[in-house]
Amino acid sequence: MSAVAVVGTGYVGLTTAVCLAELGHRVTGVDIDKAKMARLRSGEPTIYEPGLDELMAKALERGRLAFTSDYGEAIPEADFVFIAVGTPRGRRGEADTVFVKQAAKSIAGAMKKTMTIVNKSTVPIGTGNIVARIVGENLRDEIPFYVVSNPEFLREGSAIYDFMHPDRLVFGSHDEPAARAVAGLYSKLDTKILITDLHTAEMIKYASNAFLATRISFINEMARICERVDADVKVVSEGMGMDRRIGPLFLDAGIGYGGSCFPKDVKALARMAETMGYHPELLDAVMEINLDQRTLVVEKLREVLGGLRDQVVGVLGLAYKPNTDDIREAPAIDVIENLLQKGADVRAYDPKAMPLLKARMNTIRYCDDPYGVATGADALLIITEWDEFRQLDLDRLKSLMRRPVIVDGRNIFDPKTMRDRGFVYRGVGRS
Ligand SMILES: NC(=O)c1ccc[n+]([C@@H]2O[C@H](COP(=O)([O-])OP(=O)(O)OC[C@H]3O[C@@H](n4cnc5c(N)ncnc54)[C@H](O)[C@@H]3O)[C@@H](O)[C@H]2O)c1
């Protein structure tokens, strides 16, 4: 059992803290957000993630998990400190590492013994060296320390599962024994371990996200071609995915990727490449196709309705993907803004994300369920593929709508079934 501090208790940090406690370590979460710390200390999870409540309650009850805003309470005892603070998009698209730098400085100020600093945040290549320099400059005494990059690959919506069942774990450091020591924290997990240097570990995270985003933009480009040649992209992607060299995942055509990671990470990688004198043509195309998907779906709706002014449009799904309340860079936001700009009267429903969107956008009407959204609507637009939407009572939905138009931005329904049920139905890339 090791003493671990986790700095930053957002999606990644809280999941890391709770799961490392589950793996048997003594963990203290540290966050500058005092209100968040108070809620977490009282046992209230601050994010929605399946399975998080139970594991967090268990860890708190066993005394393996604590939360504080005071670095001085968490750092001196820790053998390992994870940095899991945000690295948001900077003004020119670069990853802003200001929180990482602040965390490194605060850690150094509180360090009393040798420790290993593990960076979990997604950071520009070389940030581990900057962390090492900041810690070195701000230590009160000469204390040896190590810096290891351990990028995180969890997905929001299945964060706990992903943390406990990773496809691989990556550890990069200038000091191989330090990387191996961090890998030891996860020894109870049965997975592949890759030990490498610091820069390569940091790059693996960006390359992985960029590749997944590329697959999504690729299949969205295929969808546009499918619409023109009268083919069904869903079956095309199924057929492609049967090839072991390709595999079936991340080949769903739709409104494109969003969220707190893919958009900012692809942009940050492209920006990093530009700074180093390389123009990343493929990444630029990936980003452009992705943004266009959000416009195309509104165009499709405009075409079917013959204009959007004063049309009542019901939006189903606001979170950037199902099983999360996260709306960061969610396609729904761009789509709704576009609809409003074109004069549509927008109402919306999401099982989890409404409180967050309400705080940001108060010009639309929020409904208690999908049927409320459908009542009097000229069209429904499906933006997030929540299971709840797959199970809708379609006859009831249709009877409530003014016009039975559905534009399905996530291809959750079968076009033929929908037309047989009397809907005017448009999917993405389906003839
Ligand atoms: N969210 C994901 O699905 C995901 C997946 C993999 C990697 N990542 C990466 O992990 C990192 C964290 O992402 P997130 O989604 O958990 O962010 P988040 O915004 O949810 O949480 C960041 C937390 O850090 C805290 N913080 C900021 N500065 C601090 C400081 N100086 N000291 C202590 N706490 C501080 C904030 O108060 C906040 O609670 C990012 O680099 C992100 O790119 C995210």
**CATH number, residue 264:** 3.40.50.720
- In the chain, the number of structural domains is 2
Give tens-digit pLDDT for 118-172. 999 999 999 999 999 999 999 988 999 999 999 999 998 899 999 999 999 999 9
- Asked whether 13 lines ligand 1 (CB < 6 A), one says yes
Q: Is the pLDDT of residue 389 over 80?
A: yes
Ligand 1 atom with the smallest distance to the CA of 151 is 7
- Asked whether 128 lines ligand 1 (CB < 6 A), one says no
Protein residue whose Cα sits closest to atom 1 of ligand 1: 11
Six-digit token string for 324: 């999360």
Secondary structure of residue 319 in the 3-state scheme: coil
Give 296 Cα–ligand 1 centroid separation in angstroms: 32
Give 63 Cα–ligand 1 centroid separation in angstroms: 24
In a domain, 431, yes or no: no
Domain span holding position 32: 3-196
- Asked whether 404 lines ligand 1 (CB < 6 A), one says no
- Asked whether 204 lines ligand 1 (CB < 6 A), one says no
Give tens-digit pLDDT for 216-234. 999 999 999 999 999 999 9
Which among 196, 229, 253 is the end of a domain? Answer: 196
256 in the same domain as 150: no
290 in the same domain as 414: yes
Report the percentage of the chain scoring pLDDT > 90: 96
Is the distance from CB of 289 to CB of 221 less than 8 angstroms? yes
220 in the same domain as 190: no
What pLDDT, on the 0 to 100 scale, is given for residue 431?
Answer: 75
In a domain, 202, yes or no: no
76 in the same domain as 101: yes
DSSP-derived letter for residue 96 is P
Give tens-digit pLDDT for 171-205. 999 999 999 999 999 999 999 999 999 999 999 99
Best CA proximity match to 139, nearest among 106, 170, 187, 163 = 106
Containing 30, the helix (H) or strand (E) segment is strand 26-30
pTM over 0.85: yes
- Asked whether 197 lines ligand 1 (CB < 6 A), one says no
Query: Sorting pLDDT into bands at 50, 70 and 90, what band is 281?
Result: very high
In a domain, 321, yes or no: yes
238 in the same domain as 137: no
Task: Check if 261 is active-site.
Answer: yes
- Asked whether 9 lines ligand 1 (CB < 6 A), one says yes
Query: What does the DSSP assignment read for 43-58?
Result: T--SS--TTHHHHHHH
Give tens-digit pLDDT for 45-57. 999 899 999 999 9
Which among 154, 171, 196 is the end of a domain? Answer: 196
Distance CA 344, CA 411 (A): 23
Give 210 Cα–ligand 1 centroid separation in angstroms: 19
Give 88 Cα–ligand 1 centroid separation in angstroms: 9
What pLDDT, on the 0 to 100 scale, is given for residue 296?
Answer: 97
Protein residue whose Cα sits closest to atom 39 of ligand 1: 10
Q: What is the largest CA-CA distance in the chain?
A: 75
261 in the same domain as 138: no
322 in the same domain as 413: yes
Provide mean pLDDT across the span 61-76.
97
402 in the same domain as 312: yes
- Asked whether 99 lines ligand 1 (CB < 6 A), one says yes
Ligand 1 atom with the smallest distance to the CA of 11 is 16
Ligand 1 atom with the smallest distance to the CA of 103 is 31
